Structure 1
Amino acid sequence: MKTAFLSALLSLSAVAAAQTPPATPAPTPIPQGAPVELRGLWVDAFGPGIKTPAEVDRLVADARAMNVNVLFAQVGRRGDCYCLKAAMPPTDDPAVPPGFDPLAYLIEKAHPLGLQVHAWIITTAIWNSTTPPKSPAHAFNAHGPDRAGRDNWILGKFDGTVKAGSDWLLDPGHPDAAEYIRNMYVSVVQNYDVDGIQFDRVRYPDFNPVGGPNSWGYNETALARFRAETGATGTPAPEDPAWAGWRRTQVTNLVRDTALAVKAVRPDVSVNAATITYGAGPTTDEGFALTRTYNEVLQDWLTWVREGYLDLNVMMNYKRDFVPEQAGWFNTWAAYAAGLRVRSPGVFQVSGSSIYLNDQRSILSQVRKTRGLGIGWAGYSYRTPDADVNAGKRTAAEVLPELTAKLAGPGGPFATPVRWVRPNPSALRALRGTLATTGTAPLGGRTVRLLDESGEEVARTTTNGVGGYGFLHVPDRAVRVEVGGVTGEVVTAPAGKVTDLPALTVP
């Protein structure tokens, strides 16, 4: 009886073993000697991706199978963090197990495979629910729409609206909000071995006429700054060119100041931005000022590239390849980026593709176009890997293996694994400083010129709301700063660091 029982048990075990699928092989690291080429994948936090250990394990295995090498992982959604050690409080997302640190675990699993992790944080969005955040330290609780005076950091619209769609946002022209935003990114770099940080929605919001003007930026503290710095009176109209230029500069200064602060902590961390490419693209740098990017959302990423504020410019070149007009837009923006790669070789260009809007044939078409131009590629997003998934017709689990086989299988554009590398710290040569004043004139909005020993101007910038300024493209020779006829001491910026200058006192 005992023997018969054992025989039956062994037979059942054999059947079960035959029915059990073979274990998925562990992903192998990207070879150290592989060619260098950026292939990115955005991993958003509006669905599965990084919220549990199992999701992270699946993500890194899928990314390696696809032969991508950079994960733009959304760790900051709206004033929160999918991490435990940052200036923002941990997310209230119930999908994250208590005590779990998604960012730390993602880095732990990704780095041994040669996958980079870039901390993607929405720059200005702060909250979107009628239920307030749990943490009293959350910026919405401390500086939301119910606060008065300078304590209110919320962006407003010309018509009095204080929400862009469903979101409350921070005003880049408010000095305290700008400082808070900068610290969000810096705190992540201080506490995690991220390979990069990525700005997203680092601009003024949508919900404007096509082509502009932009109707946002009417926080009272920001308006008071504009009046004090420019001498304007009253409330400027959205189309006022001085007001548009001032707001555009606030975003640019925010990118500059954050880049300097990040590089001061870790010069090898990549600073990058997901940038806007609405509609038709430019064919010349002069034409950039005519784009919807520049006028409709007041984002001057051309300056960020020229001045070296970014290491990567990751264009959100979201176009449907099967729609001829949009395919033309995609091609123009990608070609423009390829030209910028030559004119500003210190900043690498990436054409982000909306894989969620395209069928798989169109996805491969855009990959091949991008690689043919010698620039990087990134796909949005891991959660919605093609148009069928976005439309709810199929699941990501069904589509990902198909797309992976087409991208990384024999004959695919990603058939050979490649690697990406962090910025070379020795290429960094940066200066930053702050103005002080003996008078009552505002410190913000001052023009700061960088001069060489002969007095020739080599760069210029504008101070932020508290008199801060900086340069990330400093030549390897003696220079000095000049503000309104007052000059600072002569300095030669050393390579590999951000050098802080003594405060410069101006009238």
Structure 2
Amino acid sequence: MRHGWTLVAGMAMTMALAQAQAEFRGFWVDGFNEGFHTPEQVDTLLQRVRAAQMNAIIVQMRKRGDAHYLSPLEPFATQQQAGFDALAYLIQKAHGETPRIEVHVWVNCHPIWPGSGWPNDPKHILNRYPEIQTEDYDGNRITEVGYGGDWGHPLYHEWFTKVVLDIVRRYDIDGIHFDYIRYTGERWGYNPVSVARFNRRYGRTGKPDPTDPLWKQWRRDQVSAVVRKIYAQATALKPRLVVSGALITWGDGPQTSDDWVNRSAYRAVFQDWQGWLKEGILDMAIPMVYYDESNPSRAAFFRNWATFLKDHQHGRIGVVGIGNYLNSIENTLKQVEFARAPSPAGNRANGVNFFSYAATTGVGTEEGSRRYDEAFYRALGDYFGAWVPTPPMAWKLAPTAGHLMGAVLDARTLTPVDGATVEVYREGSLVRTLTTDGNGFFAAVHLPAGVYALIARAEGLPARSLGTVWVTAGLGVNLPVLLGEAEAHIVRRIESLAALPDGAPVLLLNTVVAADWLQPDALLQVRNALGEATVAVRVDAPTLPLLQGDRAAVLGTLRKQSDGTGVIEQARVHWLGAL
């Protein structure tokens, strides 16, 4: 057997060395097995990664609503060495030594707890907000992957976005990588809040049938909305951040573009990753093309999906995810060869990623895989021959477009307007029509740099126009849009509060959280977006935790203090994103 893969590697290595070019080469490194639980595991991981001539690792920092890094929002992973910030140490070692290894943070999106037991930590989202769980048509809450958050519930949508943006803001990572960014099947997604939102939007009553086309599109839209929101906000924070996903390829691959809608990803679990590539809210697609090469029908599935990916990257990056855990070393290398070769149409993928670092070779199931097989890492190193950089992304290195985003809010109450329409115009022509999500958020990504006008509309509220909005190449603009007449004084600078009387209703539109606000009974401190002036806020309406640097709008009553300062009481706060 060894001679077989050595021969394949030897034949291919000459070509690889002669035609070395940028490509993505990585491992998925899960948090359930050894990999980064201690400094010693990290050192071993990176030694093997470099020996295998990889240039990236995708490390699972969130498994089931936990954190393998120091998170202010989610509980510390039980497998992790106490107090050890795996992500910080990984970045230090991966970036600081030669060759540089990219660090992409893998977050499990939908699963939040296994199907047995219940989390003990009060910090866990199931204890904070149990109402965010998904349900099936019959009201069951345990999916095939345990308890899961429902993308149709605005609270889970926002919580997950906060978790991701916290990582992006505090760590020098190269990318964010989504896993389980979907539902688990067409009978799931029946959280009562999501069903109620759907019925309000379309004038329905009762519970829609799982196969109802409009209800299926609703759930597809909820998943796409969180991808869009995180993409727009995260890349506004760090324009060169790569947003990627581990994507579904169940069954045989599509034969044509039109056949995509018949695949399970789109039809059954509502993961429209082809649509995400077209819209540009996913920089890098890594379909999980996990098939046993020794099974002829499964080997054909692998080739059909890899070919489809090569021909349908839509100007972004496609990387073939290889299930080495199912295959011998020789068969894994056969799949790598096919993944790197051009399609019949002449198109190439942009690299390979292996599942997994821990389960290196196998005979058909992950449980039966050989773990940490040094021969596997050596075989990859022999095959690739030399390190190469990851593929450049022109839309990040030399951008000509930017992102326009914001939140549509009721000016009287600061509540988000769900299902509002935002029309985007340039030089009098309509260029995009957007719909707000359950948190009032909207985004148009990759708009050519220039000046735009907006018109926001919602049932029961007067339309509002914004005449001059600048979009700058490579950056994002984020603005609140108020519908209706505000009954409070609109305050744009905190210093302006001094001129208002005690008891005045006030609406602060552009404030930044000055310090983490994690306890609802504590005073929230906010400051001007530009400047140091601060004011204390006593939050009355339920609000998710806020972190230093978050942008927020505040509506409340100004109460003057004896020392001349003010406190905003009985306040409602709307989170606008991260700064």
Q: TM-score, normalised by structure 2?
A: 0.73
Match of 1:67 in 2: 53
Correspondences of 1:31-430 after superposition (within 5 Å): 35-93=21-79, 96-111=80-95, 112-113=97-98, 114-128=100-114, 130-144=116-130, 152-165=131-144, 167-206=146-185, 214-341=186-313, 344-345=314-315, 347-373=316-342, 374-375=348-349, 376-388=351-363, 395-397=370-372, 399=373, 401-409=374-382, 412=383, 414-420=384-390, 424=396, 426-427=398-399, 429-430=402-403
Q: Which residue type is aligned with residue 322 of structure 1?
A: S
Task: Report SS of the residue matched to 1:185.
Answer: helix
Match of 1:11 in 2: none
Supply the distance in 2 between the matched residues of 1:164 and 1:189 (Cα, whole angstroms).
29
Please, which of 430, 451, 459 is the counterpart of residue 425 of structure 2? Answer: 451
Task: Report SS of the residue matched to 2:424.
Answer: strand
Match of 1:23 in 2: none
Q: Is the 8 A contact 2:243 2:282 kept in 1?
A: yes
Q: Which residue type is aligned with residue 500 of structure 1?
A: N
The Cα shift of 1:493 comes to 0.8
- Say which is worse superposed, 443-452 or 348-357, in terms of deviation: 443-452
Larger RCO: Structure 1 or Structure 2 (Cα < 8 Å, ≥ 6 residues apart)?
A: 1
Q: Is the 8 A contact 1:435 1:506 kept in 2?
A: no
Task: Report SS of the residue matched to 2:319.
Answer: strand
Is there any run of 5+ residues in structure 1 with no aligned partner, and where?
1-33, 145-151, 207-213
The Cα shift of 1:365 comes to 1.1
Q: 1:332 to 1:446 in 2, by over 3 A?
A: farther
Q: Is the 8 A contact 1:75 1:82 kept in 2?
A: yes
The Cα shift of 1:92 comes to 2.1
Q: 1:285 to 1:82 in 2, by over 3 A?
A: same
Q: Which residue type is aligned with residue 41 of structure 2?
A: E
Q: 1:385 to 1:250 in 2, by over 3 A?
A: same
Task: Report SS of the residue matched to 1:331.
Answer: helix
Q: 1:324 to 1:488 in 2, by over 3 A?
A: farther
Supply the distance in 2 between the matched residues of 1:354 and 1:46 (Cα, whole angstroms).
17
1:475 aligned onto 2:448: yes
Q: Which residue type is aligned with residue 471 of structure 2?
A: A
Q: Is the 8 A contact 2:158 2:439 kept in 1?
A: no
Number of equivalent positions: 449
Is there any run of 5+ residues in structure 2 with no aligned partner, and where?
1-19, 343-347, 458-462, 486-579
Task: Report SS of the residue matched to 2:360.
Answer: coil
Q: Which residue type is aligned with residue 250 of structure 1?
A: Q
Identical pairs, percent? 32
Task: Report SS of the residue matched to 2:168.
Answer: helix
Q: CA RMSD in A?
A: 2.3
Q: Is the 8 A contact 1:269 1:422 kept in 2?
A: no
1:435 aligned onto 2:408: yes
- Say which is worse superposed, 155-164 or 459-468, in terms of deviation: 459-468
Task: Report SS of the residue matched to 1:500.
Answer: strand
Q: 1:394 to 1:281 in 2, by over 3 A?
A: closer
The Cα shift of 1:131 comes to 4.2
Match of 2:478 in 1: 500
Match of 2:519 in 1: none
Deviation string 1:438-486 (CA, Å, 9 cap, x unpaired) is 79998223443433214143x3432110221001121234333344575
Q: 1:450 to 1:90 in 2, by over 3 A?
A: same
Supply the distance in 1 between the matched residues of 2:123 and 2:366 (Cα, whole angstroms).
38
Q: 1:393 to 1:430 in 2, by over 3 A?
A: closer
Q: 1:202 to 1:403 in 2, by over 3 A?
A: same
Deviation string 1:73-126 (CA, Å, 9 cap, x unpaired) is 001000000011353221122xx2211111111111111231011110100111
The Cα shift of 1:425 comes to 5.6
Q: 1:247 to 1:395 in 2, by over 3 A?
A: closer
Supply the distance in 2 between the matched residues of 1:335 and 1:388 (Cα, whole angstroms).
25
Deviation string 1:353-376 (CA, Å, 9 cap, x unpaired) is 111111212211111111113222
Q: Which residue type is aligned with residue 386 of structure 2?
A: T
Supply the distance in 1 between the matched residues of 2:367 and 2:251 (Cα, whole angstroms).
26
Q: Is the 8 A contact 2:324 2:332 kept in 1?
A: yes
Match of 2:434 in 1: 461
Deviation string 1:253-297 (CA, Å, 9 cap, x unpaired) is 000001112112211211111111111222333221121111110
Q: Which residue type is aligned with residue 363 of structure 1?
A: T
Q: Is the 8 A contact 2:252 2:301 kept in 1?
A: yes
Q: Is the 8 A contact 2:360 2:369 kept in 1?
A: no
Task: Report SS of the residue matched to 2:43.
Answer: helix
Q: Which residue type is aligned with residue 64 of structure 2?
A: R
Q: Is the 8 A contact 1:85 1:191 kept in 2?
A: no
Q: Is the 8 A contact 1:92 1:134 kept in 2?
A: no
Q: 1:299 to 1:238 in 2, by over 3 A?
A: same
Supply the distance in 2 between the matched residues of 1:280 and 1:439 (Cα, whole angstroms).
52
The Cα shift of 1:129 comes to 5.9
Q: Which residue type is aligned with residue 355 of structure 2?
A: Y
Supply the distance in 2 between the matched residues of 1:181 and 1:392 (Cα, whole angstroms).
30
Q: 1:301 to 1:387 in 2, by over 3 A?
A: same
Match of 1:4 in 2: none
